[in-house]
Amino acid sequence: MRRRGLDQSDYYRGVRMAPYDLVKELAIALVAVLAVVLILAGVLSSPDEPPVTIQSWAQHAPLDLVATATAELQGQTISSDYGPPYNIDRDAVDHDRPAGASVQAFGPIAPQSWAGVHIPITAASSDVLHPLQLASASDPKLAQALLRYRAAARAQRSTWLSRYAAELGHAHMAGGLPVIADPAAAGPLPTMMATLLLVARSGGLDGLLLQSGHFYQTDYTGPLLFLGDGRYLPGLAHAQHLLGDQWGMMNETGRYPGQAWLWLYTLWYQIPPYSTASNADLLVVLTMGVLSALLLLVPFLPGLRDIPRWVPIYRLIWREHYREARRRPRG
């Protein structure tokens, strides 16, 4: 017993057949598409904007790097209190909340927390203190500053950090180093951050941030989170129209098409309630999941599967067929 429509000899009974060369059609398509691709590649090339390094960040926006490193120590960057999968949101724990400010939830459902901390990141340690510790081996002044910082009470460190962060708002660069009005009020931080900046500018911090205890390295989670915490990387992205509110996910650097097929995904970020929701990412992903399921199940969904009959585009698709049917004598 064959299912209806699956036996081609039955299905095509009474249908006029015509010669057809599948292999020739594919060969012609391969040559034609290759020709178009080669023309586009030859004339338009392809985008390749060089990556940002910690070194280039230190050279082009040194105060932003120092401010970001200070904020990492304060625990006030995106990655420092991100929550799963990178770390536990301390603020949420302290205030007995199920999910931190960075953890997106849909009502009581917070899938971000389900798998816990799988990729441990402690930004203050990995981005600032650990690199400085390594650099202090040949720098007694830095070693002393680090010792003072680590030995200080939490409240004292917090005071130094707050004052230094405030001073950075009015700082300027002189001799390649940040100059603040009252360095004494910031304790050891001016010494620590000056060294961090020097190491970063030399390119050393790029390597130190990738230290994982292995010789080979392919995981850039730490450095990318650090770059993302600053203003330099988003500033460059803004200039290239790549931010979320600039339809960023479907744009590309330069004047090239990007992932245009993400237009619907990107669209939601531009309109309320998605554009103003604190859990916008989760809402957009859920919405796209539902829409993808609808697309998948179109053959079974009344209404969606009937639209092609209501919109007579099929008459254009099979125009010759219908024209021939009209010409055919009735009987």
Partner 1 sequence: MAEGRRAGGSWTRALRRMIERELPTEHLLPDQEPAYVASWVYVFGVVAIAALVWVMVSGVVLAFFGPQWWHVSPQGHVVNSIHFWSVQLFFIFMVLHLWGQYFGATWRDGRATTWMVGVVVFLVSIGTAFTGYLAQQNFASQWIAVNAKDAINSTGAGAFFNVLNFGQMYGLHVMLLPIVITTLVAVHLVQVRMRGVVKPIETEPS
Euclidean distance between CA atoms 126 and 274, whole angstroms: 34
DSSP-derived secondary structure letter, 106: B
**Of residues 63, 134, 179, 224, which one binds partner 1 by CB under 8 A?**
224
Total number of residues shown for the chain:
331
Enumerate residues 62-101 that contact partner 1 by CB under 8 A: 82, 84-85
Interface with partner 1 (CB under 8 A), residue from 235, 257, 270, 290: 257
Compute the least distance from the CB of residue 303 to partner 1, in Å.
13
Number of residues engaging partner 1 in binding (CB under 8 A): 102
**Which pair of structure tokens corresponds to residue 245?**
């509110």
β-pair partners for 179: 172
Give yes or no for residue 296 binding partner 1 (CB under 8 A). yes
Q: Work out which of 36, 174, 184, 271 binds partner 1, going by CB under 8 A.
A: 36
- Does residue 17 touch partner 1 according to CB under 8 A? yes
Longest dimension (CA), the chain: 103
The residues that bridge with 174 in the sheet, in sequence order, are 177
CB of 135 to partner 1, least distance (A): 25
Q: Least separation, in Å, of the C-beta of 188 and partner 1?
A: 31
- Asked if 150 interacts with partner 1 (CB under 8 A), we say no
Report helix, strand or coil for 35.
Answer: helix
Query: 69, 127 in Cβ contact below 8 A?
Result: yes
Among 1, 137, 271, 311, contact with partner 1 (rule: CB under 8 A): 311
Of 1, 19, 170, 181, the one binding partner 1 (CB under 8 A) is 19
DSSP of 121-162? --HIIIIIIHHHHHHGGG-HHHHHHHHHHHHS-HHHHHHHHH
Shortest distance (Å) from residue 300 CB to partner 1: 7
* Residue 298, CA distances (Å) to 5, 56, 137, 302, 314 in order: 19, 50, 65, 8, 17
The pair of three-digit structure tokens given for residue 174, joined into one six-digit string: 């002189």
305 binds partner 1 (CB under 8 A): yes
Residues 105-124 that bind partner 1 (CB under 8 A): 111-116, 118-119
Q: How far is the CB of 57 from partner 1 (least distance, A)?
A: 11
- For strands 172-174 and 177-179, give the pairing: antiparallel
Nearest distance from C-beta of residue 228 to partner 1, angstroms: 4
Q: Which of residues 163-202 bind partner 1 (CB under 8 A)?
A: none
Stretch that binds partner 1, among 148-156, 158-166, 188-196, 299-307 (CB under 8 A): 299-307
Q: Choose, by CB under 8 A, the member of 147, 202, 220, 235 that binds partner 1.
A: 220
By CB under 8 A, residue 264 contacts partner 1: no
Contacting partner 1 (CB under 8 A), which of 77, 104, 126, 136? Answer: 104
- The distance of closest approach from Cβ of residue 193 to partner 1 in the complex, given in angstroms and rounded to an integer, is 23
Token pair of 304 as six digits: 């969606």
In angstroms, rounded to a whole number, what is the distance separating the alpha carbons of residues 102 and 54? Answer: 25
The answer to whether residue 147 forms part of the interface with partner 1 (CB under 8 A) is no
* Residue 97 Rama label (left phi>0; alpha psi -120 to 50; beta): beta
